Structure 1
Amino acid sequence: MILSSAAGAEDTALLVDTIRAAVGRTDPADGRSERVYRDGPVDHDLWSVLGREVGVGALAVPESFGGLGTSYATVAAVLETLGAELTRVPVLGGVVAAGTLARCPEHPLAGDLLTGIAAGTRIVATVIPGDGLDSPGEGILRADDTDGAVTLTGTVHFVLDADIADTVLVHAVDRRGALGLYAVERTDLRVERMETTDATRSLARLEAAAAPATLLTDRPEPARVRDLALVALACDSLGVARACLDAAVGYAKERIQFGRLIGEFQAIKHMLAEVAVAVELADSAVAHAAWAIEEGTDHDLAEAAAIAALTCGDAAGLASATNIQVHGGIGFTWEHTAHLYYRRALSSSVLWGTADDHAQRLYRLATGRSDREGGTPSSEPAREAATALSATEA
C-alpha cells in the first residue's frame, strides 16, 4: 500500500491524481468499450493495483483495523473519480461494507473483515435492505437457529459485487421477528451473475438454502446501511455526470459544422448550461451528504441521502443523454464510451430506488411522517427499476 495518509484537500487531490494515473495505465479510455464487453464487469488487473498497491479500500476503514479512517469527503472524491472513469472495481461496495461493519466492531469476525477490506485482500458485498424493513423479500432473508447453528434462507436480486465477493453481509429476521445483521460466505450461497443494462457493474442473484451464517449484531441499523449505499452511489453518479459534461463541452469546442464550432450554436449552449447547473446541484448534494455522515443525526443523513440520490441520479441521466446528443452520430456508435456512461446512469438511477421513491421519502421526512405512513407504494416504480436494470441490448 503506497498511501500512509489521506487528509486534507492537498492529499485528496494527490490521491485522485494517483488513481487517475493508475486507471490511465490499466484501463485507458481508448478501447474501453471493447474491453468491457470482452472481459466483463470486473477488471481484476485494475483492482489489484487500486486495492492492494494504492490501498483505496483502506480509506473508509477505521485506523484501529488497519485502515486510514479518512474523512468522507475524501471517500466521496475517490468514488466520484472512479465513477467518472467507469472503473470496474469493487470499491463502492467496499465503502458500504466498511461503514456497515464499523458499527459492530466488537465482533471478531467484523474486525477480520474490516482488516481484509483495508488490505485489499477481501471483498465484502452487502445486500441493501429496501424500505420495507419488517419482512423478508425486501433485501431481508429468514434466519433459523437450530441447536446454536444459524442458517439463512431466501433469495435476493441485484446484489452489487456478490459474484466476486468472499463474504456477504445480509439482514435477516428470525422466528421471533427480531432483525439481525449476518455474515455468510459466498461459497455457501448460490450466486448467479445477472445480465443487466450496465455492463460495467457486477450485479448478481443470491439464493440461500439453509446457508450457515454468523450473527454480527442483533442491533442492526438497516436504514443507515441503505443511506450509506445511496450516498456512495450518488458520488459515483456525480462522477458520471461530470465526466459526460466535460466530454460534451470538449467535443463542442472542436467539432465544426456548417463552418462553425457547434459550441457556438445557441441550442448546444443551452443544453450544456442546463447540464452544468445540474452537476453543480449534485456536487452540493454530495457535499451535504458527506457532512451528514460524519456530523449529522440519523434524520440529517436520511434527508441528505434522499436528496443526493435524487439530485445525482437526475444529473447523471441528463448529462449522459446530452453527451450522446452533442456527439451526434459518433455518440451512438458501439466503439464510443458515451453509451457506457448512459447505461451506468440508467442502472444507478433505479438500483436502490427510483427518483420517485427518493422524492416520496424526502416528502415523508420533511413532513415528519414515518416511512410506513406514506401508504402503499405503486408497483410502477418497481417495474420501472427492474426493466432499467435487466434490459439488454437487442
Structure 2
Amino acid sequence: MAIDAQERAALAEAVRDASSAGPREFLDDHGRPQRDGQLWKVLTEQMGLGGLLVPEADGGAGAGVAELAVVLENLGATLAVVPALSSIGIAGTLLRVAGTTQARAMSVRLSEDGLAATVCWPDPASMPPAGVSATACRATDSESVIVSGRAEFVLDGADADVVLVPVTIDGTDAIVAVDTAAPGLTRTAMTGLDLTRGMAVVEFLDAPGTLVADNVSLETAADLALVLIAAEQVGIAQQCLQVAVAWAKDRVQFDRPIGQFQAIKHQLVDLLMATELARSALDVAVAAADAYLAAPSDAVARELSGAASAAKARCGDAAMVVADECLHILGGIGFTWEHDAHLYLRRAKALEVLMGTPADHRSRYAVLLLEDSAR
C-alpha cells in the first residue's frame, strides 16, 4: 500500500495529535519509564498501526517502510513513551524479512492483540550484528525449542510481551519467539541515559519458545532497523529545530528578538541544513528498504546496506548537533529539568550509539564502496 504526499501528511498529523501530550507523566528519574498504555492502545487498536507491515492478505495494512518511517519520525518528535520503534519497527521488519508462515502468524498476533515485541540483538552497539544472543535446542516438535542465553541493552525489554531472539540450533542461525511470561525468562531493567525509553537485561534459562524462521538474514533485518532509527533521529532534529526557531523569534535581548542577531541566524541556518541533509539521506534509505521488501535479492540488499549506514551516520550526527545547539540557543531555560530540551538530547545520544555510531557506519559505508569498486 503506497500513499501519496497528502495521505502521508494526514498520517503524520494524526500521529502527532495522538501523542501530543508528551512524555512527562511517564518519566522515571532513573531511566526506567513506564509505557503510555493509553497512547499505545490508540496507536495499535484504534489507528491500526501495529499492522502497518502486515500484508493485506493477512488482514494488515500492507504498508511499507515509507509509511512506518512517517509514524516513527512523528512519535520521535513528541518523545512518545511507547514501544513503537522496538515493536512495530524493528521486530516487525525482522518478521517481514523472515517471511515464514510462523513469522506471518506472529505479525498478525502482535497487530491484532496490541502486544509489544522487541529483538534481543547479539550486540546492540555493533553493526552488522555478530553472533547470536542465545542457543536453543528442539523440544517435542519441530517448532518448539528451549532457549538459554543472555542479552543486554534490549530496547523496551522490560516492557515487551514477546521477545524475538537470534539463536543457534544445531549450528544453524534461527529466530525464536519467547513470551516474556514464559518460565525460565527473567528481565532486569537497566538504568539508561534516555529517560523516555527503557532498556533491560533479558536472560533465558531453558525458556520455552517457538521457532519463527531458519536462515534469516540478520544483517538485512538490522539494515531495516537502521533506517527506522534514522527516521526517529530526523523527527528529533526537526522538532528541536522548530523549538529553536520559535524561541529565537520570541526571546528578546537588547530590545530585539535574538533571532535578529547574525550569530543566531547563522546557527539556525546550519541546523536547518543538517536537518534537511539528514532527511535526504533518510529518503534514499527508505526507498532502498521498500525496494528490498518488494523484490528481495542480494544486489538490492547490498544497496540497502549502504543507504542504511549512510542514513544512520548522517541522521545520527544531525540529531545530536541540532538537539545540542537547540539547548544552547534556549539558554538558561534549556538547562532546566522542567524543559524538554534535555530529554531530546538524551534520546538523540541513546539513538546515536544504538546499532553502531556514525563513525562505525561511515567506515562500513566506505568498505562497501571499496568492495563495489573492486568488482
State whether structure 2 residue 107 is matched by structure 1 residue 114.
yes
State whether structure 2 residue 149 is matched by structure 1 residue 154.
yes
Report the Cα distance in structure 2 between the residues aligned to 1:260 and 1:147, rounded to whole angstroms.
75
> What amino acid sits opposite 1:272 in the alignment?
L
Match among 218, 229, 245 for residue 233 of structure 1: 229
Aligned positions of 1:294-309 closer than 5 A: 294-296=290-292, 297-309=300-312
Match among 198, 201, 207 for residue 205 of structure 1: 201
Corresponding residue number in structure 1 for 2:296: none
Distance change in 2, residues 1:133/1:195 (3 Å): closer
Report the Cα distance in structure 2 between the residues aligned to 1:145 and 1:20, rounded to whole angstroms.
45
Corresponding residue number in structure 2 for 1:339: 342
- Secondary structure (helix, strand or coil) at the match of 1:294 reads helix
Corresponding residue number in structure 2 for 1:143: 136
- Secondary structure (helix, strand or coil) at the match of 1:367 reads helix
State whether structure 2 residue 249 is matched by structure 1 residue 250.
no
Corresponding residue number in structure 2 for 1:381: none
State whether structure 2 residue 50 is matched by structure 1 residue 57.
yes
Name structure 1 gaps, 5 residues minimum.
370-394
Superposed CA deviations along residues 97-143 of structure 1, whole A, max 9, x for unmatched, are 222212334334x233211332352212112344465634xxx2122
Q: Is the 8 A contact 1:6 1:12 kept in 2?
A: no
Distance change in 2, residues 1:112/1:122 (3 Å): farther
Corresponding residue number in structure 2 for 1:68: 61
State whether structure 2 residue 11 is matched by structure 1 residue 8.
no
Corresponding residue number in structure 2 for 1:33: 24
Question: How high is the sequence identity, in percent, across the aligned residues?
Answer: 37
> What amino acid sits opposite 1:85 in the alignment?
T
> What amino acid sits opposite 1:100 in the alignment?
L
Q: Which is worse superposed, 91-100 or 78-87?
A: 91-100
Q: Is the 8 A contact 2:146 2:209 kept in 1?
A: yes
- Secondary structure (helix, strand or coil) at the match of 1:292 reads helix
> What amino acid sits opposite 1:46 in the alignment?
L
Superposed CA deviations along residues 138-170 of structure 1, whole A, max 9, x for unmatched, are xx2122336655212111111112222221111
Q: Is the 8 A contact 1:129 1:222 kept in 2?
A: no
Distance change in 2, residues 1:34/1:43 (3 Å): closer
Match among 355, 360, 372 for residue 358 of structure 2: 355
Tell me the CA shift for residue 36 of structure 1: 2.1
Superposed CA deviations along residues 291-345 of structure 1, whole A, max 9, x for unmatched, are 1011150011101110111111100000110111010000001000001000000
Corresponding residue number in structure 2 for 1:182: 176
Match among 318, 321, 344 for residue 315 of structure 1: 318
Distance change in 2, residues 1:134/1:346 (3 Å): closer
Superposed CA deviations along residues 26-83 of structure 1, whole A, max 9, x for unmatched, are x24xxx4354238924211111111111122122222122210123222111111111
Match among 202, 211, 214 for residue 210 of structure 2: 214
Report the Cα distance in structure 2 between the residues aligned to 1:150 and 1:224, rounded to whole angstroms.
24
For the aligned residue pairs, the C-alpha RMSD in angstroms reads: 2.0
State whether structure 2 residue 98 is matched by structure 1 residue 104.
yes
Structure 1 stretches of at least 4 aligned residues deviating more than 6 Å after TM superposition = none
Match among 56, 72, 77 for residue 84 of structure 1: 77
Report the Cα distance in structure 2 between the residues aligned to 1:293 and 1:260, rounded to whole angstroms.
47
Report the Cα distance in structure 1 between the residues aligned to 2:319 and 2:113, rounded to whole angstroms.
29
Q: Which is worse superposed, 141-150 or 165-174?
A: 141-150
Q: TM-score, normalised to structure 2's length?
A: 0.89
Report the Cα distance in structure 1 between the residues aligned to 2:177 and 2:188, rounded to whole angstroms.
19
Q: Is the 8 A contact 2:121 2:129 kept in 1?
A: no
Q: How many residues align?
A: 355
Q: Is the 8 A contact 2:271 2:322 kept in 1?
A: yes
> What amino acid sits opposite 1:80 in the alignment?
E
Report the Cα distance in structure 1 between the residues aligned to 2:277 and 2:313, rounded to whole angstroms.
11
Distance change in 2, residues 1:269/1:291 (3 Å): same
Tell me the CA shift for residue 202 of structure 1: 2.1
Q: Is the 8 A contact 1:152 1:212 kept in 2?
A: yes
Tell me the CA shift for residue 95 of structure 1: 1.9
Tell me the CA shift for residue 256 of structure 1: 0.3
State whether structure 2 residue 277 is matched by structure 1 residue 281.
yes
Distance change in 2, residues 1:275/1:224 (3 Å): same
Corresponding residue number in structure 1 for 2:120: 127
Corresponding residue number in structure 2 for 1:379: none
Distance change in 2, residues 1:120/1:19 (3 Å): farther
Report the Cα distance in structure 1 between the residues aligned to 2:59 and 2:122, rounded to whole angstroms.
28
Q: TM-score, normalised to structure 1's length?
A: 0.85
Report the Cα distance in structure 2 between the residues aligned to 1:6 and 1:90, rounded to whole angstroms.
24
Q: Is the 8 A contact 2:27 2:33 kept in 1?
A: yes
Distance change in 2, residues 1:274/1:155 (3 Å): same
Corresponding residue number in structure 2 for 1:386: none
- Secondary structure (helix, strand or coil) at the match of 1:151 reads strand
Name structure 2 gaps, 5 residues minimum.
293-299
Q: Is the 8 A contact 1:33 1:340 kept in 2?
A: no
Corresponding residue number in structure 1 for 2:15: 19
